[in-house]
Amino acid sequence: MDQTVTLTKYNTDISAINTGLAGKINDAPNDTNIYGRQGGAWVTSVTKATYDAGIAALQTSINSKLGDAPSDGKMYARKNGQWVEVVIPATVDKLGA
């Protein structure tokens, strides 16, 4: 095959690939925002500041919920919204008290 024909075909193929790529979706902008696609364009779905504020609010909500029992080797249960130590008697009398 003639080198000129091969080079011409190569250039034609590259041109077709470039034309095809031109219609594809480009990357979203590279900044601190979160993007989605709408109407064929990138749009900000939420700013990083809004996202961070939502995460902070969620963390505050989580932290205000039931916390872990003390970590001191004792057994605990919840009573009236607080952790209380569960005391199991070493002996039980014959009435079960």
**Structure confidence at residue 72 as a pLDDT band (50, 70, 90):** very high
17 falls within a domain = no
Residues 6+ apart with CB under 8 A from 85: 74, 75, 76
**Structure confidence at residue 95 as a pLDDT band (50, 70, 90):** low
Which pLDDT tens digit goes with each residue over 75-89?
999 999 889 999 988
57 falls within a domain = yes
49 falls within a domain = yes
Distance from C-alpha of 20 to C-alpha of 59, rounded to nearest angstrom: 46
Residue 4: what pLDDT? Answer: 62
Asked if 35 contacts 44 with a C-beta cutoff of 8 angstroms, the reply is yes
Residue 50: what pLDDT? Answer: 86
Distance from C-alpha of 78 to C-alpha of 5, rounded to nearest angstrom: 84
95 falls within a domain = no
Residue 96: what pLDDT? Answer: 57
Q: How many domains does the chain have?
A: 1
The pair of three-digit structure tokens given for residue 92, joined into one six-digit string? 């039980």
The boundaries of the domain holding residue 56 are 25-90
40 falls within a domain = yes
36 falls within a domain = yes
What number of CA atoms fall less than 13 Å from residue 29's CA on the CB side?
11
